A and B are shown apart, each in its own frame.
Chain A
């Protein structure tokens, strides 16, 4: 009797079970690189003694002991915590300022309909077509003239680069919002800042989440701009650039230096993974909402 019931159940749901199995296998293979970078952050690169577990000979094995030597070494060599702080400050300031500036601009462009606002908006949209590579060299030259080849300059540039896309996001959202609420607040005697703070900002909150995720993802991981602006000289740097420097210093093109690269990768991915796991629901829904608009 039970068997029969089970068979009927299977007949109805076999597709779902099949999909679940395929997806599970696929996801495990898909996430395998993460496993690799955890286990290999605790191993030496290679050894003549084949009984020792090494990165080169046993990439998939667990380490013989969870030796933090390599991770601590990377932390010391690259001044990891200083670099992490720099990266976080750059990301947080750029993302925050981008959201404030872009939402204000988009708000003005939507509410004040004029030839100027149309032209400004069109220029911003057109700028989204410009690849970074076609402006990077003159930009470095300009920043050099303004003595902005430093961390504040980096934040300044991220605001400029992020603006077209971020304004575009807010613009698309605000277009569909009637201005009744703002008018009511105005009649009640609120000034521009008060209207922005207590009416507009709460209204655009969903888009602020989307914009913040997309901008933070891009800025935190960006390599080329810090590379061009800060270069590989000593001094304050960002996480991806520090990894690149450590990799170049570890020398050898193949094999050599894996015991520096793996801890470096792990320490680069770690902060991202933590934030991702804490906010995964918000992140996924924020991206979904942004995608439809």
Chain B
């Protein structure tokens, strides 16, 4: 059928043109700018046009950037454990119910539709007012003024992100649990497996595809957190995550060094790409074929 051949280019080319202008061109330009004294709208005439790796060197001598990178990594690790653990637990619990599955599914999924700015404002109130002034007024309490302390804030942020994401992860796990054939469970029971063994050797291996997806969603989602960070603390009290830090280097610092910000952005891309690719490759290997 040559109808596809005949129409291929005039459909694909315009679409790819939009894609080129919005993604590829900025990506290439950004990479080039990371070697230049870019200031957003002009190039600093006091510096050479091509600076080599100067921006990257400046970047790594900036302790704040490294700190926010480390902080983001920490948040990603906590989020993986908290969100996937809670999402899986909720899915297992809801799947055991005879009645009311639909209600819990809908109710727990709702926060996932709320945007980051709104989310940050709601939880800024929860942590600053409800927790600190009403529920946990003692200064020794862990939940008292969580946003004003770098080491407590990471847990506040994790709770907030979990509130937003567990419903989505639960739905992914539920649909994966539903696709496990009943006869496998029955066979395992007849062979004398107890409920833990059934979970460990039947359910868990068959959940691997869903775990791959959830890991991907959680890792890439947590790395890119920007709105929530801006709305919750605005990066005050040393709580800046990497996405906000990139924005800060360029826009808020008095130097407006977009070149350095662009170098940070490129390193950020490399880290995300490396982690995502290796993680998908690793979990894919562990999935079982049915």
Contact = CB atoms under 8 A, between A and B. Distances in A.
Interface of A: 15-16, 19-20, 22-23, 26-27, 30-31, 33-34, 36-37, 40, 55-56, 59-60, 101-102, 104-105, 108-109, 111-112, 114, 116-117, 120, 123-124, 127, 129-139, 141-142, 146, 156-157, 159-161, 163-164, 179, 182-183, 186, 191-192, 195, 217, 220-224, 240, 243-244, 247, 254-255, 258, 261-262, 264-265, 268-269, 272-273, 276, 280-281, 283-284, 287-289, 291-292
Interface string B114-156: 1111100111011011100110000000000000000000000
A228 B68 CA distance: 22
B161 interface: no
A214 B197 CA distance: 36
A20 to B, nearest CB: 6
Contact of A135 (B27, B100, B107, B134): B27
Contacts of B105: 284
B22 A133 contact: no
Interface in B91-114: 93-94, 96-98, 100, 102, 104-114
Contact of A133 (B7, B114, B115, B243): B243
Contacts, number: 245
A102 to B, nearest CB: 8
B276 A139 contact: no
Contacts of B107: 27, 30-31
Interface stretch (B50-58, B75-83, B221-229): B221-229
Contacts of B3: 186, 191-192, 195
Nearest to A190: B3
Contacts of A161: 22-23
> By CB atoms of chain A within 10 A, which of B1, B100, B102, B126 has the most?
B1
B196 interface: no
B23 A192 contact: no
B126 A291 contact: no
Nearest to B96: A19
B204 to A, nearest CB: 17
B27 A130 contact: yes
A105 B41 contact: no
